[in-house]
Amino acid sequence: MAGKDSTIRTELFIDGEVRPPAGKEYYQLHNPARPDEFVGEAASATADDIDVACKAAHAAFPAWAALSYAERADYLTKIARHLTADEAELNSRIKLFTREHGKILKESTIEMTRLGDRFTLCAAMAERLAVDDELKGPPFDTIITRQPRGVAALIVPWNWPLSILGAKLPQALVAGNTCVVKPSQNSAMAPTMTIRKIAEVLPAGVLNVVTGSASVIGDPLLSHPLVRKINFTGSIPVGKHVMRVAADKLTPVTLELGGNDAGIFLEDAVLDDAAFMRMYLAAFMTSGQICMALKRLYVHRSRYDELCTGLIAAASRQVIGDPLLPETSMGPLNNKSQHAVVTGMLSQAREQGADVQEYGQVPDEGLYKAGYFQKPALVFDPDPALDIVKEEQFGPALPIIPFDTEEEAISLANDSQYGLCSSVWTQDRESAVRLARQLEAGYTYLNGHGPLAQDNRGPFGGFKASGIGRNLGFEGILEFQEYHSISAPDGWLF
């Protein structure tokens, strides 16, 4: 919504109402392509606002939980339609999203227009959810059913906030929970507007949104006595903090903490224009700021030169600049801090003697230097000890490393604290599945990688430091429920 001075301003949305923050304070958001350009401001919530939001969700819980799965699924179906019903309003949100975030217009459009698909997918699982397991005696007759947990705190990051929200919010709702959502401070306005549109379809209090600094409202939300489930997506250090705070009240958590995804390219894999483009997008979509992006590529030595040549060609065609322009294929990184992380890793690699090359076309050098831009960078055969290999870059940089044997490739891929996603590239189905089963990752793609290869019907989450629990799929819904066993003497129930 706009204030009297036409400034774009988003408020809190609690108990079915638009509300200013208790402290009457707001913070500014700027365009990462033009950091001096003021885009708008979002509400800075306080601990008091968190308390009101959690109490509203708690008050709405009994009636929402009492609905049947089919009735809640009907709400989800209505949400899916409502999100895109007003084309002019939708386009306005898309452009605002691009300006505050930095992702190209095409990606903002995808994220906004396809969010409803995740609600529809969850709605389709209602019939399956309604079926209890039955154990017939002897020794007892037992019903194994599930109940919603209560108020769920959903915390989403800035990179793909609505897609990630779509991996947890419809699941929480169809499971019977009410929710308090906290978007990232770095991308708050368009996501808040979108969450408000979702909430407009629901009974008051079922969905609430609070914005502001994690240092101010993070712990009050995580530790609130009415919160019965926490679902967090973000970095490993913050995820560990979330778990520590949750432990005090034994609040169950789902943590998706990013990854350093390895891809293994075998000797027989197809290399054509389509494969190169899939590989390029897997690594560099959203300027590489995707948890499931391809971040380490291990290539059989016999195909190394061929693959590098093809990726160089793909990267060289990219246009880096203003994300609102249709010809732009890569925008800036979202914020100054992340820009420093990525450029720092590349500088370290160069200083340690790695062959680092940047590609792409820059139509406006002035804009490029002023914004948080980084051209697609390929790092050829770097030392595995470098940060660019060991750590998650979360930016447009891809190390490419040759290997000689499958055993070596598996060892290199698994030599990581992360275990979110991985990929195997080969024409041999048996080899693909055999290698995939050896990879320490929650999701393995075959001949693709990342969002464009993702089957949203399956559960998503990580091994090792990449997280705990799962989002998406039927299993993602079960994360928001508790099992409940009901037993009687043999022959009494059935």
* pLDDT of 2 strictly over 50: no
486, 489, 491, 493 alpha-carbon torsion, rounded to 10°: -30
Q: Per residue in 55-79, pLDDT tens?
A: 999 999 999 999 999 999 999 999 9
Q: Exposure pattern of 242-256 as b/e (b: 16+ CB <10 Å)?
A: bbebbeeeebbbbbb
* pLDDT of 3 strictly over 80: no
pTM score: 0.96
Residue range(s) in the chain whose domain bears CATH number 3.40.605.10: 9-257+471-483
Instruction: Give dist(CA 399, CA 263) in Å, integer.
Output: 11
Q: Domain 261-455: what homologous superfamily? A: Aldehyde Dehydrogenase; Chain A, domain 2 (3.40.309.10)
Q: Per residue in 417-469, pLDDT tens?
A: 999 999 999 999 999 999 999 999 999 999 999 999 999 999 999 999 999 99
User: What confidence score (pLDDT) does residue 7 get?
Assistant: 79
Rounded to the nearest integer, the mean pLDDT of the chain is 97
For the domain with range 9-257+471-483, which CATH number is right: 3.40.605.10, 3.10.20.520, 3.40.50.1980, 3.20.20.140? 3.40.605.10
Single-letter amino acid, residue 292: M
- What are residue 399's phi and psi, to 5 degrees? -80, 135
- What are residue 443's phi and psi, to 5 degrees? -150, 130
Instruction: Give dist(CA 261, CA 238) in Å, integer.
Output: 20
> Any residues with CB less than 8 A from the CB of 462 and at least 6 apart, and which?
256, 257, 259, 418, 419, 420, 421, 441, 442
* pLDDT of 5 strictly over 60: no
Q: Per residue in 105-148, pLDDT tens?
A: 999 999 999 999 999 999 999 999 999 999 999 999 999 999 99
Q: Per residue in 217-238, pLDDT tens?
A: 999 999 999 999 999 999 999 9
Instruction: Give dist(CA 277, CA 272) in Å, integer.
Output: 9
Query: Whose CA is closest to 473, among 170, 159, 239?
Result: 170
Question: What are the strands, taking DSSP E only, across 151-293?
Answer: 151-155, 178-182, 207-209, 227-233, 253-256, 261-265
Residue range(s) in the chain whose domain bears CATH number 3.40.309.10: 261-455
User: What confidence score (pLDDT) does residue 22 get?
Assistant: 98
Instruction: Give dist(CA 104, CA 113) in Å, integer.
Output: 14
User: What confidence score (pLDDT) does residue 6 get?
Assistant: 57
- Catalytic residue set: 256, 291
Average pLDDT (181-207) is 98
Instruction: Give dist(CA 319, CA 75) in Å, integer.
Output: 41
User: What confidence score (pLDDT) does residue 233 get?
Assistant: 98
CB atoms within 10 A of CB 410: 20
CB atoms within 10 A of CB 383: 14
Q: Per residue in 133-191, pLDDT tens?
A: 999 999 999 999 999 999 999 999 999 999 999 999 999 999 999 999 999 999 999 99
Beta bridge partners of 284: none
Q: Residue 139 in contact with residue 166, Cβ under 8 Å?
A: no
Instruction: Give dist(CA 167, CA 460) in Å, integer.
Output: 9
User: What confidence score (pLDDT) does residue 411 get?
Assistant: 98
User: What confidence score (pLDDT) does residue 388 get?
Assistant: 98
* pLDDT of 35 strictly over 60: yes
Kindly tell me the sign of the dihedral angle through the C-alpha atoms of 223, 196, 475, 133: positive
